[in-house]
Structure formats: C-alpha cells, structure tokens
Amino acid sequence: MRIAASILRTALIATTRFVIGGHARWIGSVPTTRQRIYFANHGSHLDTIVLWAALPPMLRRTTHPVAAADYWGATRARRHVALDILNCVLIDRKRAEAGADPLAPLHAKLVEGGSLILFPEGTRGTEALPGPFKRGLHTLAATFPDVELVPVYLDNLSRAFPKGAYLPAPISCSVRFGAPIELRPMEDRADFLSRARDAVAALAAPVAP
C-alpha cells in the first residue's frame, strides 16, 4: 500500500509539473524543518497539490494541506488522493453550523508537531489577488505563537484550472514563498488578517529570475 501510494505521489507531482510547472520561488524565506503554517491565496482545486508539491520532499512528510471534506472527501478516489497521497487533514465546514470547532483537526496536527498548508479565504476566488481572510488563521496564530507563519502566492492557478474545468490548461504557474510574519502583541484580529492578506498579495508582483 505504501509503495503504491509512493508511486502515485511521484506520478502526480511529475504530471503536475509537466503540465503547469508550479516550481517554488523562495523570495523571503528558505526551506526549513521549523514548524510552519503556509498560508496562500485560493483560486483552484489544484492549489493544494501544487503548493504541497513545491515543498522539498523532506518537508512534505510533515506538512499537511488543509482541505475541505465536502470536496476532497466526497468520493473514494479524492479521499485516497487527499489522505494517502497528499497527507491532508480534512475539515468539515459544516461542523461550525453544528456548534463544533472546525479547527480541532488542525490543532491536533500542530500539537503533534506537524506543519500546515492553509487557504484563509476559505473558498476559491476568481481574482488575481486574495479576498478577505477568515478568522481561522488568527486563531491558530494566537494559540500556537511559536509556529512560523509563511505567506505564499500561487500564480496563475485560477487560470490553469478554473471553476468548472475538468482538465488543467498548460499555463505556466509558480509558487512564491514570502517572508514570515507573526501576530504582534495586542494586535487586533482584523488588523492581523488584513496584514496577512497583504503579505500574500505583495507576492503577486513578478520577480526577476
């Protein structure tokens, strides 16, 4: 089972890079085993795969993309890709409506020492720049102050695999990792989320090779 998952993982990463690229650009940070939350804009169902694949292999083993259970857990095939291939942690967005904490699985992974990939908009957008961030990133930053917060910008993903598409278009994409931010003492939640969004948006400008 593990061998089959490893083969599928390698094939998925290779196919993704062949079709749309998605190579990493470390602009304001460097790969490290330090525990992190990578937070990014969200424009495509490929975002999870591309960002996770952009990390070095040593970091993929301990980094868990946060994915919506209503999509990635909707079919047996998607659930297999999410849990067995991409090492995801699934969250049920309906838990909040039932009074449960939808962030509980994320807390558990961080307590275990894992890192996360988070899309704070909560849903896919159609614009080049991210929309307003939901409160989850602030909650995690306040609860786990020692976890480094790294903004990431996913370039062209909403064009390569827009809503309603069945196959990705061969449009070159990239993954830009910015400088870490932190929750400042006594910082208001709205101010922090606005600053975090701005940190992602700032990475949208092309950089020289």
CATH number at residue 94: 3.40.1130.10
Residue 96 has a pLDDT of 54
13 lies in some domain: yes
pTM above 0.95, yes or no: no
Tens of pLDDT, residue by residue over 103-150, are 999 999 999 999 999 999 987 766 778 989 999 999 999 999 999 999
Does any domain span residue 94? Answer: yes
Is residue 82 in a domain? yes
> Is 79 among the domain residues?
yes
133: in domain? yes
Mean pLDDT of 49-60: 92
Tokens describing residue 35: 């525990």
Q: Is 140 among the domain residues?
A: yes
Of the CA atoms within 13 Å of residue 169, those in its CB half-sphere come to 12
**How many domains are contained in the chain?**
1
170 in a structural domain: yes
Mean pLDDT, the chain, rounded, equals 86
| 209 in any annotated domain | no
Full domain range(s) for residue 26: 2-204
Confidence tier at 173 by pLDDT (50, 70, 90): confident
